Structure 1
Amino acid sequence: MTQSSPVVAAQLSHWRPALILTKLAPPRTRHYIERKRAIRHLRPGLERKLTVLVAPAGFGKTSLLSEWKAVMAQEGCAVGWLSIDRDDDDLFQFGAYLLAAARDACRQAGEPVPSRLEPDPLAPADAMFAELLNAVLALPRKMVLVLDDFDRLTSPAIHEAVFRLLRYAPENLHLLVAGRSEPAFPLSYFEARGQLLKLDAEALRFDSAETQAFFSAVSGHDMSPAQTEALLQATEGWAAGLQLASFALSANDQAGVVAEHLPFARRSVEAYLNENVFVHVPEPLQGFLLQTSVLDRMSESLCDAVTGSSSAHASFEWLMARNMFVRPLDADSRWYRYHALFADYLRKRLVQERPHEVVGLHRRASEWFAAQSLWAEAVRHALAAGDVDRAAGWVEQCAMNLVEASDVRTVLSWVAKLPAEAVRGRLRLRLAHAWALALTMQSVAAKCELQAVEDDIRLGKLPVTEVVRVELQAVKALIAGLSDESQRSLDMGRKVLELGPAEGSWAEGIGLTTLIFGLSYASGFGEIERLRRTLTFGTGTNAPIYATVYRQSMVGLSLFVEGRLGEAVQTLEDVLRESSERAGPQSAASVLPVGYLAVIHYEWNDLDRVAELLEGRLEMALQSCSLGPLVGFCMTLARLRLLAGKQDEAYRVVEEAEAVARSRQWLRMQVACKAEAIRISIQSGDLGRATRIGQELEALVGQRPANLQGSYLETWQRFQVAHCRLLVARGRAAEAVPVLQGVHAELRAAGMQYLSAQIAVALAVALHSAGHRMKAMQAMLAAVAYGQKNELRRVFLDAGPVARDILDGLRQQQALLGEVEPWYVDELCRGFDALAGTTDARTASGKCKEEARVEDPIEPMAASRLSAREVEILDYVARGLSNKEIARAIRVAPETVKWHLKNIFEKLKVNSRIQAVRSGLGRDLPRITEQSVRN
């Protein structure tokens, strides 16, 4: 690795990736005139979702939008600004900047910044966009976000995300996108709905009055009508041309000569600048301009460092005095940038005249940015200088700091930008990359990365120290835990701690967390208790919040698995309180304890608390939750939907969760989803669907393993309960009894009291259905005894009328109750009565509400997974176009349209074009009839 300067080395331990704040405000313009005519063109856009302003370079887009921003702010809008550059072509970074722009808009408008807009390093990009929409919806005024130079973004993922953002945007959100070309998402979708304003260069051209006002502001004296007309005709209202003319006139003072040459500037700005502008710049200043052209933004100290002189202050004074294509970026004039046309011209000239200086200029810029801890620009300039080793070295030394702060998406972004050969020989960087992949739930990719690292270690390509050995074991333990390999997680967690990691270190924390997870499913509850009393990692207000949440959530899980529900809730509520205070209630950290809490509060029949816990967190949970909490979250949400009579929504929740489980190869969650789908189908009376899903479930799980251990015991239990539930529904309860008896014995032996009580209820129902009423009451009694101590309700209520009959039998034979209090059995029976009343009321009103549900469809989660192209095609389908007509409209082959429609049908789980239109386009669609959609 190339050695860095002492100043840089001193900064390396304080990696603080930060947003560039000057990007959140428009450049200041020294000589600017009001563009009232152009502003009138922009104003209709406020009534729509999207304004797109497209014009070539030099037409004054940024200056006009800066004025428009001020106008909107004066009129009460919350206005955010983002100046986009090439480094923002990363979905997570773009999302972070978009949230920052929204936060800035709130502050400037005097609104409190919603907690939803606070950054969350573990939040996936999709969740960030969802939080932005939720925050704007709650805002008591219109929010406008201006995205300048949007055409610099080429990432399809970003264009897809912006399309979805606009599609689901509330009425008080407006997006203004400006650039040299149109954005790459389908504008036709918004145009067809009257939600788009498109403007081009014509709206930006100067007229005679504006031209006169411009030259008066620049030169201090008025031009004659003839001079104005000559310059206006020569420039065709081109703002850059007027600026060129203003500088040329200050040196020449012959408007006729300038006007004569200006038309050629449109064809060759470079030639015009050479002949009419650059020749009038003093020679030392010419060198300054060329050398600093490598910078996207400039400060005086940065320019002095890059040029090796102390002339920056005087140079900026000279340039600003002459309106020489330099714009300040902040109110204090600490940061500047060149006009885009002028910067392009200078860079081309630098390469032509001083190619030998380019590498050194980027290298000095990189050193300066690194010394200021402005790492994004430091690494970019290092790469531009060809110093990939230096760039990789900086990232390597700081990557684990980022991981420990849970800023793992920055690590992923940096590794993606570095050349593969720069990463290959850097062990710690590759380990940090594996950590980042694992912590973003990309366990499969993390395993592959770690396997490649271990292969290179065995081949002697990578050096290994004792510290590295500990870290290797720790990341392997984490991957095992996140892959639901609980026994391996237990073994690996022990090995981490046996290697003696530094007290309080990240590796020790992961070792403890994975050990607790493994012990939870190995009935090691006593050992967990001892660990809890001696645990020091992740305690205190300065401990990393995500590390604390993971560890404490595992402690809560152990109490839950053991069946100590009250203590589990107390632990998990403490975790949720701390994560909400430190990371925000909608953060990835806060979602982790919610999944387990939702299950327990649901069991207590505290449905209001369950709804409160789950509200607005689904997208975050799907993207960032580990397996256990996500299963609890999604299955509980599906049950809430079913209780509300929304069967289709319950199915959709389960199907969405199953898709995530498949992508992460989480068998336990796939089984849980199919088991829940069987339960929904049986309860809805669709035995055929339940049977089909049951067959899929059997094929998924396969044969019973020789030894049931670890978390697989829960997987097997869910499978067997679903299988037996189906047997009972099909009138074969006698076959279910021995299966459930075996599972019940296994769970009791493992000390898993809560799961054991669930099986006891299922067993009681099977026994009763098979005609063994006394045995059914005895089986139910075991569940009731545990239920009374832990306040269970739903496990009985959800078992249906048969469970009520068994409980009635217990009431009539109170001698059987033993330590069970009669009041508890009575209360359970009253719960059934209340449930029956709710069901009757819902059935009575169902017919009245049926049409309303059809006319006001709920936007399905699957629809948000459609790509921009798929939504565009679906939009054409809704307008009644045939496949051939759609193909002509979007310039593809008809077979391509058919292929897209097939994918749309699969994503939306529909079988016809009309179903697809209704499911995929949702509320923003005009009324659709069967006749309007061609088959």
Structure 2
Amino acid sequence: MRHSFSLEHALASGKLNAPAAHGDHIARLDLCERICHPDGPKVVVARGPAGYGKTTLLAQCQARLQARPMRTAWLTLDRADNDLPRFLRCLMAALGALAEPAGAAARHDSEDMLALALVEAVASHDAPFALVLDEFEAITAPAVLDLVQDLIGRLPAHARLLIGSRHTPGLALGRLRAANQVLEIDAAQLCFSMDEASRFFARRQPALTPAEVELLHRKTEGWIAALCLASASLARTPSAAAFIERFSGSDQSVADYLAEDVLASQAPALRHFLLRTSILKQLSAPLCQALLPGLDCADLLRQLENGHVLLTRTAADEQHYRYHSLFSSYLQSQLRAQAPGDIADLHLAASRWYEGQGRPVPAIDHAIDGGDFGRALALLQTHAETLLAEGRMRLLSRWLGQLPAAVLATRPVLQAIQVWATCFTRGPSEASLLMADLRLADSRDPAVLDHVRALQPLLLSMMDRQEDAYAAGMPSVAALGDALSFTDTALANAMANISAVLGRYHEARSLLDTARRAQSRSASSFNLMYSEAVEGIIDLQEGRMRQAGARFRMAVRSTRKGAWGQANGNAWAGVLYAAWVYETGDLAQAARLLQVYVPLGRDVGLPDHLILGYLMQARVAFYEGDPEQTFYLLGELEYLGHQRRLPRIAASARVERARVLLMQGHPRAAHDELNRADDPDLWRRVEALRLPANDLLYPRLGRLRCQAYEGDPGAALRELDPDIARALAAQRVRRAYKLQLFRAVALARMGDDAGASAQLGPLLLAAQSEGLCRVLVDEGASLAGLLRRHAASEAGRAWLAGDAARDWWQRYTEQAGAGPLAPEPAPAVAAASADALTPKELRVLRLLAEGHSNSAIARQLYVSESTVRTHLRHLNVKLGADSRTQAVARARHAGLL
């Protein structure tokens, strides 16, 4: 049975449509004008409790924008959208009518690539559009919030994002507030004004005097739900004045009183219907008929809609409804009080109906909500393995966490699946404790033991205990037969990865061959992804860069179209692929990939992928002239390391911070940061492993960089030579390459340009052959200046005579000039004194040295970019420089910085 996201289900539930307009709705003219003004805000957040008219306001804004005309998309969220793959698919479905590129990807690409198409569609859509996300309070998952945050960051200037939420969304909006690009409408602003309340009651009977409207407005404080409920009661009361006089308060007790009054006024059949259908999140005539076969449910729904009894039609072209949340809550409380014995039967009927519709997710929801744990277990027994393979970890975690432990203990296989779900939602440490508490390793059930054999080394590896993982997994590998199950194949792949980390490449490839043979008999997109990603890591370590990139690309695209996909698994491969794209110099594409895969992969918690993902995002921010964001990301990475008790993550953040400080021209601060990162026991162990994130990120390499660029070049050469020899002997080709770049800089600083040029020759040939770019660009101006001198030398000119070399050089020079670089060592010059520079020029110079772009400097100084360029021209003249990089270098040499 197929469990993939269904566009039909989304349309039926009204997720992709604003609620149908009602003739009694009051136009929110002032708020709509503020929101929809042509020069209005980029992001709007309408925030208030239930019943404050957020959805109606957003629907009116959508209609106004469409009349402009502007294309719009609507998505109503629910708690199931905390499952990130589902959220991505729902959002893609909503945007399908808006963005043709996203639609094309949906037809041709894998599930995970839909997410990339979504981000790209939002970022590159060239016409004005608006996206509405309603009921945002349902979203609590950090990964989903992170993705929405990234979408906000990618919104083009002509785009709008409108959010409706009961509380402040968990988004970082500080920068937008500072730039006056966000409009926040709170409950006080959402309330009806006196004028709106007067227009509201003018359409209703009995007619109220202005004084009565004013009194009712004051007592309700403009709360729209209370006014609507009061209006319904007024229609049945003999004295409007008496009702308004005794009406008091605006808390839940008022809602209860009014809801009771509304309920009491209905015919018995309608009251019966209202109470018993209150358990449903969405109402339709066939579903309600399954719960209440003796009633004409379609007719009752029409009566309720015509009577305006707090029932909202969720789609204009479909008869699907939902109750107002306060009303639904009240009805449920009345059902529990009046007919508690009916609740289980109602949930059972709903569960059976959904199961018959091929929708196991709501079927399981209702079974659990109805306390029918036997039915829930039976459904989970049928569908949990498939949902596990689809990566529905959050959904499984929520369900299995709701089941009593004693009930779940009767299904040990489901307990094992709970460990998987826990691992990918709350981390491997908690999953390991759970597996130990459940004593799954002592089970006699072969199916349970299959899961245990795959989980044990995987969890240890994710907790950075590679040696223990190897010892735990290899006996199980030795016991594998010819016919491998999904868990057996996953075990083989996991052990291949662990073997590669331990430097046992021959053994890793043998395990990969075992896994691939199993896949040829029983294809698994997850295991295909895993195999290709591990093989790509080995290629990367041994210097086959292009081949590694091809494998990572294959791994990312391995998910079969039409399935939910291995979102967590492909995040694992996706970060590696993003690292390759970054290395080729395509920062824009790398940033788009990272926006998708870093949030997807954060919950997975693999140390190397966390480090790589954050490191690349920080570097992209730095080269885009946003060092504040760079340091923020590195600080967040360090925090995650402490939070997850993984010291390698925290220490890696500090090593990278030291590199950035050196690029900014702060060698002493860089040295201090490296000292903070240094933990001899930690790095001694890391040095013995082949960890993708730390092959080029460890304190000793950072110190060698500092020594080569800013310290004693002779001492640097004495230390570099043995390190290069060790790296080559261990086939750590990437590391040897980086160290040889340092050696070339050190030679040049000693005045040995010929030696530096001889060192660079083969390195540039390798870069050209393997498509390397950022490994050189990220070394900043010290290396860039040396490369320019080499290109102008006789040997360099001979190399650049070839077309391939010229193409590579053009790509490198474009990248090297794209962002802030460290100061190039400059000869002694007669530099200007501080007195020769104006205060504003000094300020520009300091911001320039910190790595800010022209636009960032302009924002900080509250001037135009043309003014900044004028200051830069004056600085170049006064400092005798011909570039911003050289200006900073000479300013440092003169002691101005």
TM-score (norm 2): 0.69
Q: 1-side partners of 2:317 and 2:492: how far apart?
A: 50
Q: Any residues of structure 2 matched to 1:848-867 within 5 Å, and which?
A: 853=852, 856-857=855-856
Aligned residue in 2 for 1:33: 23
Q: 1-side partners of 2:528 and 2:789: how far apart?
A: 46
Aligned residue in 2 for 1:879: none
Q: 1-side partners of 2:395 and 2:404: how far apart?
A: 16
Which is worse superposed, 348-357 or 723-732?
723-732
Deviations 1:355-408 (A, max 9, x none): 333333334333433443545544443344334565466446533322311232
Deviations 1:37-95 (A, max 9, x none): 544553323234436375875x87766765554444334344455556xxx457825x7
Displacement of 1:256 in angstroms is 5.1
Secondary structure of the 1:335 match is strand
Q: 2-side partners of 1:784 and 1:274: how far apart?
A: 80
Aligned counterpart in structure 1 of residue 15 of structure 2, from 12, 16, 24: 24
**Cα distance 1:735–1:120, how it changes in 2: closer, same or farther (>3 A)?**
same
Q: Is residue 2:452 matched to residue 1:448? A: no
Q: Is residue 2:235 matched to residue 1:239? A: no
Is the CA contact (8 Å cut-off) linking 1:747 and 1:753 kept in structure 2? yes
Is the CA contact (8 Å cut-off) linking 2:99 and 2:125 kept in structure 1? no
Aligned counterpart in structure 1 of residue 453 of structure 2, from 469, 473, 476: 473
Q: Any residues of structure 2 matched to 1:894-905 within 5 Å, and which?
A: none
Aligned counterpart in structure 2 of residue 52 of structure 1, from 46, 50, 55: 46
Deviations 1:690-748 (A, max 9, x none): 32123223335568469935549966994443344445567566766676555445444
Q: Any residues of structure 2 matched to 1:749-760 within 5 Å, and which?
A: 749-759=729-739
Q: 1-side partners of 2:414 and 2:725: how far apart?
A: 48
Aligned residue in 1 for 2:183: 195
Q: Any residues of structure 2 matched to 1:566-715 within 5 Å, and which?
A: 566-576=546-556, 592=572, 596=576, 606-607=584-585, 609-615=586-592, 617=594, 620-621=597-598, 624=601, 626-628=606-608, 631=611, 654-665=634-645, 672-682=652-662, 684-699=664-679, 701=681, 704=684, 708=688, 711=691
Aligned counterpart in structure 2 of residue 412 of structure 1, from 383, 394, 397: 397
Displacement of 1:573 in angstroms is 3.9
Superposition CA RMSD, Å = 6.1
Aligned residue in 2 for 1:884: none
Deviations 1:555-595 (A, max 9, x none): 11111222233432333344456579889999877765565
Q: 2-side partners of 1:553 and 1:544: how far apart?
A: 14
Q: 2-side partners of 1:706 and 1:132: how far apart?
A: 36
Secondary structure of the 2:132 match is strand
Aligned residue in 2 for 1:360: 345
Secondary structure of the 1:688 match is helix
Secondary structure of the 1:24 match is coil
**Cα distance 1:435–1:728, how it changes in 2: closer, same or farther (>3 A)?**
same
Q: 1-side partners of 2:813 and 2:17: how far apart?
A: 61
Aligned residue in 1 for 2:291: 306
Q: 1-side partners of 2:310 and 2:208: how far apart?
A: 23
Displacement of 1:465 in angstroms is 1.7
Deviations 1:250-299 (A, max 9, x none): xxxxx856886676677877777778874662x45543443333333333
Is the CA contact (8 Å cut-off) linking 2:20 and 2:316 kept in structure 1? no
Aligned residue in 2 for 1:431: 416
Aligned counterpart in structure 2 of residue 143 of structure 1, from 112, 127, 130: 130
Q: 2-side partners of 1:440 and 1:780: how far apart?
A: 47
Q: 1-side partners of 2:76 and 2:425: how far apart?
A: 28
TM-score (norm 1): 0.67
Which is worse superposed, 776-785 or 689-698?
776-785
Q: 2-side partners of 1:167 and 1:822: how far apart?
A: 40
Q: What percent of counterpart residues are identical?
A: 17
**Cα distance 1:245–1:104, how it changes in 2: closer, same or farther (>3 A)?**
farther
Q: 2-side partners of 1:68 and 1:806: how far apart?
A: 56
Is the CA contact (8 Å cut-off) linking 2:581 and 2:587 kept in structure 1? yes
Q: Any residues of structure 2 matched to 1:97-496 within 5 Å, and which?
A: 103=92, 106-107=95-96, 113=102, 135=122, 138=125, 140-145=127-132, 147=134, 172-177=159-164, 195-198=183-186, 199-203=189-193, 213=203, 238-244=227-233, 248=236, 278=264, 281=267, 283-307=268-292, 309=294, 311-316=296-301, 319=304, 326-331=311-316, 334-338=319-323, 343-344=328-329, 346-388=331-373, 390-391=375-376, 394-395=379-380, 397-418=382-403, 423=408, 426-439=411-424, 442-453=427-438, 456-457=439-440, 463-492=443-472, 494-496=474-476
Q: 1-side partners of 2:767 and 2:50: how far apart?
A: 71
Deviations 1:144-182 (A, max 9, x none): 52625x678899999999899879976532425366x88
Deviations 1:526-562 (A, max 9, x none): 4555566665469699955454333211111111222
**Cα distance 1:349–1:858, how it changes in 2: closer, same or farther (>3 A)?**
farther
Aligned residue in 2 for 1:898: none
**Alignment coverage as a number of residue pairs:** 807
Q: 2-side partners of 1:785 and 1:777: how far apart?
A: 12
Displacement of 1:472 in angstroms is 1.0
**Cα distance 1:307–1:195, how it changes in 2: closer, same or farther (>3 A)?**
closer
Aligned residue in 2 for 1:557: 537
Aligned residue in 2 for 1:920: none
Deviations 1:189-231 (A, max 9, x none): 969958344534434887677656556xxxxxxx8xx799999
Q: 2-side partners of 1:646 and 1:346: how far apart?
A: 53
Displacement of 1:482 in angstroms is 3.3
Q: Structure 1: which amino acid aligns with 2:535?
A: V
Q: 1-side partners of 2:146 and 2:239: how far apart?
A: 49
Is the CA contact (8 Å cut-off) linking 2:780 and 2:816 kept in structure 1? no
Deviations 1:814-858 (A, max 9, x none): 9xxxxx99989x979x97997999699988999978769488549
Deviations 1:236-257 (A, max 9, x none): 69333434455x4xxxxxx856
**Cα distance 1:388–1:165, how it changes in 2: closer, same or farther (>3 A)?**
farther
Aligned residue in 1 for 2:221: none
Aligned residue in 1 for 2:866: none
Q: Structure 2: which amino acid aligns with 1:406?
A: G
Which is worse superposed, 689-698 or 283-292?
283-292
Unaligned runs of 5+ in 2: 218-223, 825-840, 860-897
**Cα distance 1:674–1:588, how it changes in 2: closer, same or farther (>3 A)?**
same
Secondary structure of the 1:329 match is strand
Q: 1-side partners of 2:494 and 2:760: how far apart?
A: 35
Is the CA contact (8 Å cut-off) linking 1:294 and 1:347 kept in structure 2? yes
Is the CA contact (8 Å cut-off) linking 1:89 and 1:158 kept in structure 2? no
Aligned residue in 2 for 1:73: 66
Displacement of 1:410 in angstroms is 2.5
Deviations 1:611-638 (A, max 9, x none): 5334462573366174445555555666
Q: 1-side partners of 2:128 and 2:814: how far apart?
A: 42
Is the CA contact (8 Å cut-off) linking 1:54 and 1:201 kept in structure 2? no
Q: 2-side partners of 1:698 and 1:187: how far apart?
A: 35
Displacement of 1:469 in angstroms is 1.6
Q: 2-side partners of 1:158 and 1:261: how far apart?
A: 46
Displacement of 1:474 in angstroms is 1.0
Is the CA contact (8 Å cut-off) linking 2:661 and 2:669 kept in structure 1? yes
Aligned counterpart in structure 2 of residue 510 of structure 1, from 469, 479, 490: 490
**Cα distance 1:859–1:406, how it changes in 2: closer, same or farther (>3 A)?**
farther
Aligned residue in 2 for 1:3: none
